[in-house]
Amino acid sequence: MGATSNPTQSNPGPGRDKNRVVIFDTTLRDGEQSPGASMNLEEKIKIAQLLEEMGVDVIEAGFPIASNGDFEAVREIAKVVKNASVCGLARAARGDIDRCWEAVQHAKRPRIHSFLSTSPLHMKYKLQMEPVQVHQAVIDSVSHARNLCADVEWSAEDGSRTEHDFLCRVVESAIKAGARTVNIPDTVGYAVPEEYAALIRMLFNRVPNIDKAVVSVHCHNDLGLAVANSLAAVAAGARQIECTVNGLGERAGNAAMEEIVMALRTRQDTMPYTTGIKSELITRASRLVSAVTGFVVQPNKAIVGANAFAHESGIHQDGMLKHAGTYEIMTPESVGLGKSTLVMGKHSGRHAFKMKLKELGFELGDNALNDAFRRFKEVADRKKDVFDEDIVALVDDQIQQSDERIKFVALQVIAGSKGPQSAEIELDFDGVSKTAKTEGNGPVDATFNAVRAIVPNAARLLLYQVHAVTEGTDAQAEVTVRLEEGGKTVVGQGADPDTLVASARAYIHALNKLLTKRAKTAPAALTA
């Protein structure tokens, strides 16, 4: 893909820099559509705040008509985000668009994102509409959205499989009706880079008012080409990329934001395009999204995988010692991956701990700081070396478990080959101390049975996963649990040097979320 392949075709972008690419993050919308990746309000707000800090231009916060939970999340994110545009998704229907506006209108920069399928297959079977009806619906929906909101994006769902003449006509009409951004999704991840770039170039060549809008791309990763397709489209003139942290998203996911940002940053020689993203926050965002969703990042994943900057072979290590450039095309620091530093030990004071938290991006109130400091001391007493990762794990755990109805107090487990394995747990449930002792098929089962004896539930355990925060047998364990009850899934995490305590904390965290979900009844989510 040549940087000069389309020198004359450019779109308006932030600051009118013709090479500036708008980063539109849809982790909270398309990302959340990954089965099992549901997030609660607090988690969505935390992610949105980090996306804003990273310099994301547009945050797609959800699909307001889909459920009351989605609506509330978009509305609350619209209220807290200060610089980025906050966008909500809406189908081409007045009710969807009105509900979307109700949620995003609180934002400093609100955006309505309306979409409708344009491919022959989708029009015939999914919409059961004639092309002429689809065309009119595009005009009506964009006009309606524009009467409410100055910033309207319109997406031609399944755009990459849409017949060219028809695509040109609807894109022209959407722009005429007021769309400032027109998005051409590769909804099913079918496109290949040259073909997709040619499609974008075709629009620039044939749509007379194309210069009045930003052309956007939204690529799914079914063939593993989402990032390549997005970059090819930028070289062809697109100036907005829709993407997600860790490539989360429907089916095989969306284009991964970290890969797009680092490809553009690293290969300025062939792709002279810029983004506003502070790449140093990429690792933090990746870890946050992974922790919240329970979706582990594969070790060899580009940019954010645990091995992305690891050099195992002797030849590589030798080369690295002589010159880092021999095997490293980006520095770990450029994605915010510092060396695992020994931070503090059991003699470290409260002030030093507070400073360290600030450096790691946490600002805690007095009570939360006291609790976190107490947990830190407990860890430091049991673990020789305390690393940044340990502190992040325990503070994340701490933040998650404050304000919850069920609180972990103590656990005693009998494990080993002789059996029976049993667990005695003490919980604080709505302010009342409760204990239970049960047996189980192994120590984790016994622990979960003991929790269930105090908090009866029929939730199905979909996932139980243990991850060591750092190296060594004294490393903290970070446990993720995914539960399902009545079609609702929740993810819980817990961290502790004792794997069984971490397991109990994770299970309790998930149960607390289920209690909250039970309290809020929401209509079934829609999909886009």
Please report, as ranges, the residues that interact with Zn ion according to CB under 5 A: 30
Please say which residue, 181 or 422, places its beta carbon nearer to ligand KIV.
181
Query: Among 30, 70, 76, 496, which residue interacts with ligand KIV (rule: CB under 6 A)?
Result: 30
CB of 496 to ligand KIV, least distance (A): 38
- Using the contact rule CB under 6 A, the part of the chain among 125-133, 170-178, 179-187, 513-521 near ligand KIV is 179-187
What does the alpha-carbon distance between residue 509 and residue 521 come to, in Å, rounded to a whole number?
A: 20
CB of 190 to ligand KIV, least distance (A): 11
Q: Identify the three-state secondary structure at position 220.
A: strand
Cα dihedral: 100, 103, 106, 111 (round 10) = -30
DSSP notation for 374-402: HHHHHHHHH-S-EEHHHHHHHHHHHHHHT
Please say which residue, 115 or 362, places its beta carbon nearer to ligand KIV.
115
- The sign of the CA dihedral 507, 284, 58, 527 is negative
What does the alpha-carbon distance between residue 446 and residue 421 come to, in Å, rounded to a whole number?
A: 7
Beta-carbon neighbour count of residue 82 at 10 Å?
A: 10
- Of these partners, ligand KIV, Zn ion, none, which one is at the site of residue 155 (CB under 5 to 8 Å by kind)? ligand KIV
CB of 24 to Zn ion, least distance (A): 11
Residue 299 preceded by cis peptide, ω within 30: no
Query: Among 10, 162, 187, 283, which residue interacts with ligand KIV (rule: CB under 6 A)?
Result: 187
Query: Among 157, 259, 396, 496, which residue interacts with ligand KIV (rule: CB under 6 A)?
Result: 157
Please say which residue, 190 or 429, places its beta carbon nearer to ligand KIV.
190
> Does residue 161 interact with ligand KIV by CB under 6 A?
no
Please say which residue, 88 or 492, places its beta carbon nearer to Zn ion.
88
Count how many residues are written for the chain: 528
CB of 64 to ligand KIV, least distance (A): 13
- Using the contact rule CB under 6 A, the part of the chain among 15-23, 180-188, 195-203, 229-237 near ligand KIV is 180-188
Side by side, which strands form the sheet with 432-440? 406-414, 421-429, 432-440
Q: Identify the three-state secondary structure at position 434.
A: strand
**Token digits for 199?**
């499609």
**Token digits for 472?**
């060594």
Q: Tell me how far CA of residue 215 lies from CA of 153, 164, 183, 336, in angstroms.
A: 10, 16, 6, 30
Query: Among 185, 247, 294, 440, which residue interacts with ligand KIV (rule: CB under 6 A)?
Result: 185
Picking from 60, 119, 118, 124, the residue whose alpha carbon sits closest to that of residue 90 is: 60
Compute the 3-state secondary structure of the chain and give helix, strand, coil in percent, each to the nearest 5: 45, 20, 35
CB of 491 to ligand KIV, least distance (A): 22
Positions 114 through 133 that interact with ligand KIV (CB under 6 A): 115
Please say which residue, 27 or 503, places its beta carbon nearer to Zn ion.
27
CB of 519 to ligand KIV, least distance (A): 30
CB 287 within 8 A of CB 311: no
Please say which residue, 210 or 528, places its beta carbon nearer to ligand KIV.
528
CB of 336 to Zn ion, least distance (A): 27
CB of 157 to ligand KIV, least distance (A): 4
What does the alpha-carbon distance between residue 414 and residue 423 come to, in Å, rounded to a whole number?
A: 6
Q: Tell me how far CA of residue 311 lies from CA of 109, 280, 318, in angstroms.
A: 44, 21, 10
- Of these partners, ligand KIV, Zn ion, none, which one is at the site of residue 115 (CB under 5 to 8 Å by kind)? ligand KIV
Please say which residue, 29 or 383, places its beta carbon nearer to ligand KIV.
29
- Residue number of the CB atom closest to Zn ion: 30
- Using the contact rule CB under 6 A, the part of the chain among 173-181, 183-191, 280-288, 423-431 near ligand KIV is 183-191
What are the beta bridge partners of residue 489? 484
Positions 209 through 238 that interact with ligand KIV (CB under 6 A): 218, 220
> Does residue 91 interact with ligand KIV by CB under 6 A?
no
What does the alpha-carbon distance between residue 508 and residue 528 come to, in Å, rounded to a whole number?
A: 32
Which residues bind to ligand KIV, rule: CB under 6 A? 30, 115, 155, 157, 183, 185, 187, 218, 220, 528
